[in-house]
């Protein structure tokens, strides 16, 4: 891995303000780290140097580097979505990428993704699988589907990484690699120029080494703050210093019982640390846990929304190239009339809305909910690529506790809470109601400050 040269984004922003030439130094160092780490870690499908852009605006993120998951369109770069072929209609900057560029960010390149974002481990039959930096002796999966995103952060090629999350695709890789990740509320951040998997529950998301770093990217892209991102950054930075005495934290006990490698104990140790700082800890009777899980197991909304997309005549070559493990989910739906898909989508959205209401009523009892993000450690790549049964088992378990926030239409984040009994990273998931994204970002920064003290 590269030599660590990046300070916090807060420190870098201050450096660039006082020494504007520092911005180019940071971009050049990020690209040097990318070139030095690429062959070993394979975070990127495509990358570009900082000199490929004629100029960088003197915005809030001048000197800050950002990697982009290969589901987003980026002008001048192709979008493969983890498939063998490029999608030419997703080749331009969408609003999120443009917001980052307008504030001076350097887009380092496109990070690897699972094929069409279908999978929680990060495997892909068409492209290299990024190497999880948490294990230097064995190639472990990074988590998915935003598989290259955390690897791009931990190899010091960028400070922010754009991902997407439909069942956990930001939070799972963040937890497995040991970074922060946030899944925004569905509909909050634009999905224009982002290849769809399940439009009803697809969400844009962001990864960073810390919540404090992620705050800067969040403020630039969020509709509440994009006109004055510094104001939100400064507000949350102050709020994060406030005591959590009296803050009510609800645990989801069922999600502590299924953990392996002592992950539950590691998360509970973090909870005890918060309790020692004055937080009130209660157990929640979370509604519809089984209903949400069964909806996920059935394929959920993606099982009807993605086929409608991939069966379109203009997408035939991508359907033909699908991995067998993906294609087998949809073959039986070929020839289904569009109105049948639409009716089923309507029914499933009604089910999601019902579960969302119940979840909001549960969350009204507390300030936030907490559980382990992922109940398993990142498995070795060989284990899940040589056995289909092993892949299915590990993939389902990887997504088992993140899918809840998607199928109950909530917002959620994951904070790294150290290493589990296997010596691998694990994460603590923070869940809040739909639309409470700014509060989620604030709580993430606040809890991170306490846990890292």
Question: Distance of alpha carbon 177 from its chain centroid, rounded?
Answer: 12
- pLDDT tens digits for 80-125? 999 999 999 999 999 999 999 999 999 999 999 999 999 999 999 9
pLDDT at 6: 64
What is the fold of 9-287+351-451?
Amidase signature (AS) enzymes (3.90.1300)
Spell out a b/e string for 249-263, using b for 16 or more CB atoms within 10 Å of the CB, else e. Answer: bbbbeebbeebebbb
Is residue 110 helix, strand or coil? strand
pLDDT in tens, 233-257: 999 999 999 999 999 999 999 999 9
CB 432 within 8 A of CB 168: no
- Using only C-alpha atoms, the chain has a radius of gyration, in whole angstroms, of 20
What is the structure's pLDDT at 336?
A: 85
Domain assignments of the chain as residue spans, ordered by start = 9-287+351-451
Which DSSP symbol is given to 314? G
Low pLDDT (below 50) residues in the chain: 1-4
Position 75 scores a pLDDT of 97
The whole-angstrom separation of Cα 294 and Cα 271 is 29
Catalytic residue among 37, 169, 225, 444: 169
Q: What pLDDT shows up at residue 129?
A: 99
Neighbours of 210 (CB within 10 A): 20
| E strand or H helix at 162 | strand 160-165
Which of 2, 37, 67, 69 is an active site residue?
69
- Count of C-beta atoms within a 10 Å radius of residue 182: 30
**Catalytic residue flag (residue 145):** yes
Rounded Cα gap, residues 136 and 351, in angstroms: 44
Which residue intervals of 82-197 are DSSP H helices?
95-102, 148-154, 171-177
Active-site residue, 392 included: no
- Report the alpha-carbon distance of residue 361 to residue 354 in Å, rounded: 11
Q: Which is the catalytic residue, given 145, 146, 167, 198?
A: 145
> What's the rounded Cα separation, in Å, for the pair 345 and 305?
7
- What distances in angstroms separate CA 50 from CA 24, 38, 109, 151, 278, one per listed residue? 8, 16, 10, 19, 46
Phi, then psi, of 389 in degrees rounded to 5? -65, -40
DSSP state of 285: -
Q: What residues form DSSP beta bridges with 432?
A: 411
146 part of the active site: no
Query: Strand, coil or helix: what is 222?
Result: coil
Give pLDDT, residue 240.
98
pTM: 0.97
For residue 126, the cross-strand partners are: none
């Amino acid at each position: 891995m590269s030599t660590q040269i990046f300070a916090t984004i807060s420190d870098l922003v201050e450096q660039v303000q006082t020494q504007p030439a520092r911005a180019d130094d940071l971009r050049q160092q990020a690209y040097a780290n990318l070139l030095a780490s690429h062959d070993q870690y394979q975070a990127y499908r495509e990358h570009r140097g900082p000199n490929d852009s004629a100029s960088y605006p003197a915005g809030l993120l001048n000197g800050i580097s950002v990697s982009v998951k290969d589901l987003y369109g980026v002008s001048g770069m192709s979008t493969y979505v983890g498939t063998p072929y490029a999608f030419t209609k997703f080749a331009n900057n969408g609003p999120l990428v443009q917001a980052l560029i307008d504030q001076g960010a350097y887009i380092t390149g496109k990070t690897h993704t699972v094929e069409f974002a279908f999978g929680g481990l990060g495997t892909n039959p068409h492209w290299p699988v990024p190497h999880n930096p948490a294990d230097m002796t064995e190639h472990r999966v990074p988590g998915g589907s935003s598989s290259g995103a955390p690897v791009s952060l931990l190899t010091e090629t960028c400070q922010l990484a754009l991902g997407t999350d439909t069942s956990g695709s930001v939070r799972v890789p963040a937890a497995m690699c040991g970074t922060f990740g946030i899944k925004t509320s569905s509909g909050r951040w634009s999905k224009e120029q982002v290849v769809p998997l399940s439009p009803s529950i697809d969400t844009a998301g962001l990864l960073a080494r810390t919540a404090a770093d992620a705050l800067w990217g969040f403020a630039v892209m969020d509709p509440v703050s994009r006109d004055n991102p510094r104001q939100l950054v400064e507000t949350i930075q102050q709020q994060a210093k406030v005591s959590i005495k009296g803050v009510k934290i609800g645990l989801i006990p069922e999600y502590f019982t299924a953990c392996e490698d002592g992950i539950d104990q590691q998360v509970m140790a973090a909870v005890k640390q918060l309790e020692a700082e004055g937080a009130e800890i209660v157990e929640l009777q979370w509604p519809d846990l089984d209903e949400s899980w069964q909806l996920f197991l059935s394929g959920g909304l993606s099982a009807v929304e993605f086929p409608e997309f991939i069966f379109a005549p203009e997408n035939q070559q991508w359907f033909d190239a699908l991995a067998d493990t993906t294609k087998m989910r949809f073959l039986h739906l070929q020839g289904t009339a569009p109105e049948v898909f639409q009716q089923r989508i309507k029914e499933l959205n009604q089910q999601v809305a019902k579960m969302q209401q119940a979840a909001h009523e549960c969350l009204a009892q507390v300030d936030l909910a907490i559980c382990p993000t992922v109940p398993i450690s990142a498995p070795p790549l060989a284990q899940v690529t040589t056995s289909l049964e092993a892949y299915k088992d590990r993939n389902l378990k990887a997504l088992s506790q993140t899918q809840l926030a998607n199928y109950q239409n909530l917002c959620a984040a994951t904070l790294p809470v150290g290493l589990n009994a296997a010596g691998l990273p694990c994460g603590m998931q923070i869940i809040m109601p739909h639309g409470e994204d700014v509060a989620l970002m604030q709580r993430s920064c606040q809890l991170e400050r306490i846990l890292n003290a």
